[in-house]
Amino acid sequence: MSDLEFDVVVIGAGPAGYPAAIRAAQNGLHTAIVDNWRNRDGTASLGGTCLNAGCIPSKALLESSELYHRAETEFAKHGIGVGSVALDIETMQARKQGIVKQLTGGIGALLKSNGVTAFEGHGRLLDGRRVSVTGERGDTQSLVAKHVVIATGSVPIELSAAPFDGEAIVDSWGALDFDSVPERLGVIGAGVIGLELGSVWRRLGADVVLLEALDTLLPMVDAQVSKEAARQFARQGLAIRLGARVTQATARDGGVDVSYEVNGERESLTVDKLVVCVGRRPLTADLIGEGVALAIDERGFVVVDEQCKTNLPGVWAIGDVVRGPMLAHKGTEEGVMVADLIAGKYAEVNYGVMPSVIYTAPEIAWVGKTEAELTAAGVDFKSGTFSFGANGRAKGMEQADGLVKLLASDEDDELLGVHIIGPVAGELIAEAVLAMEFSASSEDLQRTVHAHPTLSEAVHEAALAVDKRAIHAINR
Ligand code: FAD
Ligand code: NAD
């Protein structure tokens, strides 16, 4: 069998791999992409975890469930009577699936229009930058490339105390596909997925208990933001048990018995469904052929440098399968960088300005350093905080919980971190990301005109508060 020759072969068509392929093709490189994603019904689909079972379906359900919850609890305050609000979960799930189908189909069209050749099947990296592609029926094709980009992503971590059975004990994908609202939902892990999916099912009526091993909620988040988040989640009825170690989960009679320990005390819980979301691990299963000495670290990540080069010449790796936060946009930026570097262009990823967003209500978003990180690093900083309670737009939206906090260098006023909990924080953070990308100071934000009345005025006021010049707050 003769090899099909390409300049670039990308393995994996998630948010890291497909942008890499598109940019490589835009750069005039003869490019192929190989993907083995299978939906639960056996159909192939592009877009990886993000589009099929992650970012996109979760945000669709977060939106639907938030609307349902607000219709039930908030409309009356606006003077709108809707009688009893009915829930049609089948329609809600169909809408979600429709969005997934449209977006994943769109990727096929984008690849095609950019001239990328797509192969459906399992890719394996062989010697000499050859990639074998094995289709569902065992048929094999052989590709050879000047450059291979590994973008195989990640999979959920399974707990031996609570193994997935796909019915009662499920991973995040399973929890996105429930066809009815569980009366009692258990969630192991109060991380990003636990809080987002816990919120979805809580809003739709489930009693939700989250068991979190750590003693702190969201330790990576600014402490004031995390405290406010804990307060809001408790108000919403999300029961979060910190310091909980799950010892056993057993599915029986359509439910799950969960045993766990808190401070050495044994506790138990019975739920209808249990979601295990305790993190994800890099996916390199059956990826590397015999004799290919690709360096993998002790946690299973493909080892790369700042430019995503592996130890093998012409072999690159990007996205969840390499170090750094497991975020779709981080993988995308790496993919685009690698494709530009391959084409001989200048490119880099500014990892110091990588935004994070948790799509709960209120949303939580941040970029740069936290107070704790700056203090630990011995950096002198000043801070400004502004509450959405004093923001007219937030009041009008009936979403005035939360705050914006800006941290700036004491020495030269450069922005070092921005932390937001509040309405559409995930959108508001973009201004902070742009400002930090351009090494802006808090004064730069202070001197930037913000439209009135907008939520972004809270960012403006927080910047003013850094120098105790906020207009709509008492400066302390
Ligand atoms: P993936 O998206 O996992 O794609 C890898 C692709 O490679 C898959 O299609 C896989 O089938 C294929 N593949 C693997 N091995 C092979 C092989 N040997 N041959 C061929 N193909 C192969 N991130 C955010 O930034 N924002 C969010 O809101 C967000 N929400 C999320 C919600 C959930 C429920 C989950 C689970 C994740 C979420 N994430 C979010 C994380 C995000 O989905 C990942 O960071 C992102 O998908 C990683 O992209 P990737 O391209 O590296 O890998
Ligand atoms: P995570 O790391 O965010 O949270 C996992 C949580 O589980 C942590 O709080 C951890 O302390 C806890 N935990 C670990 N082992 C445990 C155990 N045995 N018992 C109880 N708790 C335990 O991971 P995740 O929520 O599974 O998400 C996976 C990845 O997907 C993350 O890297 C996340 O960034 C990404 N993601 C991002 C978004 C977003 O950007 N909005 C949304 C969903 C997922």
pLDDT tens digits along 68-118: 999 999 999 999 999 999 999 999 999 999 999 999 999 999 999 999 999
Substitution site in 199, 267, 275, 278 for ligand 2 pocket (most atoms within 8 Å of beta carbon) = 278
**Phi and psi, residue 210, nearest 5°:** -110, 130
**Ligand 1 lined by 283 (C-beta under 6 Å):** yes
Q: What is the mean pLDDT of the chain?
A: 97
Residue 475 lies in a domain: no
How buried is 78 (Cβ within 10 angstroms: 0-12 exposed, 13-18 middle, 19+ buried)?
A: exposed
Residue 473 lies in a domain: no
Which percentage of the chain shows pLDDT scores above 70? 100
Show the domain range for 79. 4-156+281-349
pLDDT tens digits along 410-426: 999 999 999 999 999 99
Q: What is the 3-state secondary structure (H, E, C) of the chain?
A: CCCEEEEEEEECCCCCHHHHHHHHHHCCCCEEEEECCECCCCCECCCHHHHHHCHHHHHHHHHHHHHHHHHHHCHHHHCCCCCCCCCCHHHHHHHHHHHHHHHHHHHHHHHHHCCCEEEECEEEEEHHHEEEEECCCCCEEEEEEEEEEECCCEEECCECCECCCCCCEECHHHHHCCCCCCCEEEEECCCHHHHHHHHHHHHCCCEEEEECCCCCCCCCCCHHHHHHHHHHHHHHCEEEECCEEEEEEEEECCEEEEEEEECCEEEEEEECEEEECCCEEECCCCCECCCCCCCECCCCCECCCCCCECCCCCEEECHHHCCCCCCHHHHHHHHHHHHHHHCCCCCCCCHHHCCEEECCCCEEEEEECCHHHHHHCCCCEEEEEEEHHHCHHHHHCCCCCCEEEEEEECCCCEEEEEEEEECCHHHHHHHHHHHHHCCCEHHHHHCCCCCCCCCHHHHHHHHHHHCCCCCCCCCC
Residue having the nearest C-alpha atom to atom 35 of ligand 2: 326
Where residue 455 sits, what CATH number does that domain have?
3.30.390.30
Query: Residue 279 Cα, ligand 2 centroid: separation in angstroms?
Result: 4
Tally of domains in the chain: 3
* Amino acid 168: pLDDT: 97
Tell me which ligand sits closest to the C-alpha of residue 212: 2
Please give the model's pTM, rounded to 2 decimal places: 0.98
Substitution site in 99, 136, 152, 277 for ligand 1 pocket (most atoms within 8 Å of beta carbon) = 152
Where residue 36 sits, what CATH number does that domain have?
3.50.50.60
Residue 359 lies in a domain: yes
Same domain flag for 247 and 371? no
* Amino acid 1: pLDDT: 66
Residue 471, amino acid: I
Query: Residue 50 Cα, ligand 1 centroid: separation in angstroms?
Result: 5
Same domain flag for 122 and 10? yes
Residue 112 lies in a domain: yes
- Alpha-carbon distances of 250 from 74, 239, 273, 376, rounded to whole Å: 38, 21, 11, 42
Q: Rg of the chain over CA atoms, in angstroms?
A: 24
Same domain flag for 111 and 179? no
Q: Of the candidates 234, 249, 278, which is a domain's last residue? A: 278
Same domain flag for 450 and 357? yes
Same domain flag for 241 and 371? no
Q: Is the pLDDT of residue 347 over 90?
A: yes
Same domain flag for 439 and 420? yes
Cβ-based neighbours of 217, under 8 Å, separated by 6 or more: 190, 226, 229, 230, 233, 240, 242
* Amino acid 222: pLDDT: 97
Distance CA 57, CA 11 (A): 23
* Amino acid 74: pLDDT: 95
Same domain flag for 76 and 218? no
Residue having the nearest C-alpha atom to atom 9 of ligand 1: 48
User: Relative to the CA of 359, which ligand 2 atom is closest?
Assistant: 41
* Amino acid 253: pLDDT: 86
Q: Is the pLDDT of residue 2 over 90?
A: no
Verify whether residue 419 is a known catalytic residue.
no
Same domain flag for 107 and 178? no
Same domain flag for 207 and 122? no
Q: Of the candidates 243, 278, 313, which is a domain's last residue? A: 278
Residue 161 lies in a domain: no
pLDDT tens digits along 359-405: 999 999 999 999 999 999 999 999 999 999 999 999 999 999 999 99
**Ligand 1 lined by 13 (C-beta under 6 Å):** yes
Residue 260 lies in a domain: yes
Query: Residue 475 Cα, ligand 2 centroid: separation in angstroms?
Result: 37
Residue 51 lies in a domain: yes
Same domain flag for 206 and 330? no
Query: Residue 10 Cα, ligand 1 centroid: separation in angstroms?
Result: 14
pLDDT tens digits along 130-163: 999 999 999 999 999 999 999 999 999 999 999 9
Same domain flag for 291 and 211? no
Strand partners, 267: 260
Same domain flag for 17 and 148? yes
Cis bond leading into 362, ω under 30°?
A: yes
pLDDT tens digits along 289-313: 999 999 999 999 999 999 999 999 9
Residue having the nearest C-alpha atom to atom 14 of ligand 2: 278
Residue 447 lies in a domain: yes
pLDDT level of residue 476 (50, 70, 90 thresholds): confident
Q: Of the candidates 325, 349, 373, which is a domain's last residue? A: 349
